[in-house]
Homo-oligomer: A and B are copies of this chain.
């Protein structure tokens, strides 16, 4: 079983931008445990989090083109990915690849590859989908700060229901109704949706605040929302 894991930036940085070190250490433990059981986490994509937002905001004020802002966000995400290399030690590929081809080349060594963003115009969620597709992963686990996909905004509407399963079409319908997804746009960026759809990648969107949830998913438990085709 070949797994691609996406860890949202907000899971590893708090609102002030401080690193949630214990959580990262726990993620490392979970990943190394899975590896021992031959359930290989081939690649971990980490989001840019607060650092990305802070630097992009500064760059924009200084007159940076949006494309340059994206590149700054990419480097911030790479920084978040890079601190995990130490925690995974000799099991980790030692550097951060910067193109999809480099990710694939690094994965060919059999080490766990850590990556941040790759190219302007894409969120790290798109990167995770692209990587999962490129290295033919069996499943993609998207660990984020929500419990999964809801029918409506649970904070505003008590009738909102968490979906256990959802299709890409249903996600698109929910997006079109807006409101709820205003701030959650990235999880469903159009590139990510297109890639998931065309390659029918088994994807779970879960609350990643407890890294052990990854073990549960792999063990077959029902958590968060599964994207089905």
Contact = CB atoms under 8 A, between A and B. Distances in A.
Interface of A: 16-19, 21, 24-25, 28, 51, 54-55, 58-69, 71-72, 75-76, 78-79, 82-87, 89-90, 93-95, 98-101, 104-109, 111, 118-122, 126, 129-130, 133-136, 190-191, 194-195, 198-199
Q: Which 6 A-B pairs have the closest CB atoms?
A: A64-B86, A190-B190, A94-B104, A19-B58, A67-B134, A62-B87
Given A58-B83, A94-B135, A122-B191, 9 more contacts: A21-B61, A66-B198, A68-B134, A75-B82, A95-B104, A120-B130, A121-B122, A190-B191, A190-B194
B84 A199 contact: no
Given A21-B58, A75-B79, A83-B62, A89 B136 contact: yes
Contacts of A190: 190-191, 194
A101 B95 CA distance: 6
Q: How many copies does the complex hold?
A: 6
A133 B87 contact: no
Nearest to A17: B17
A120 B132 CA distance: 12
Most chain B C-beta atoms within 10 Å of own C-beta, residue among A67, A72, A79? A67
A174 B69 CA distance: 30
A63 B199 CA distance: 12
Contact of A121 (B60, B64, B130): B130
A25 B62 contact: yes
A65 B134 CA distance: 6
Most chain B C-beta atoms within 10 Å of own C-beta, residue among A60, A69, A108? A108
Contacts of A17: 17, 54
Contacts of A195: 66-67, 120-121
A11 B118 CA distance: 29
A65 B82 contact: no
B79 A100 contact: no
Given A19-B54, A66-B195, A82 B59 contact: yes
Contacts of A24: 58, 62
Contacts of A122: 121-122, 191
14 contacts: A18-B54, A62-B84, A67-B130, A69-B86, A71-B100, A72-B79, A89-B136, A94-B108, A98-B99, A108-B109, A119-B119, A121-B129, A121-B130, A191-B191
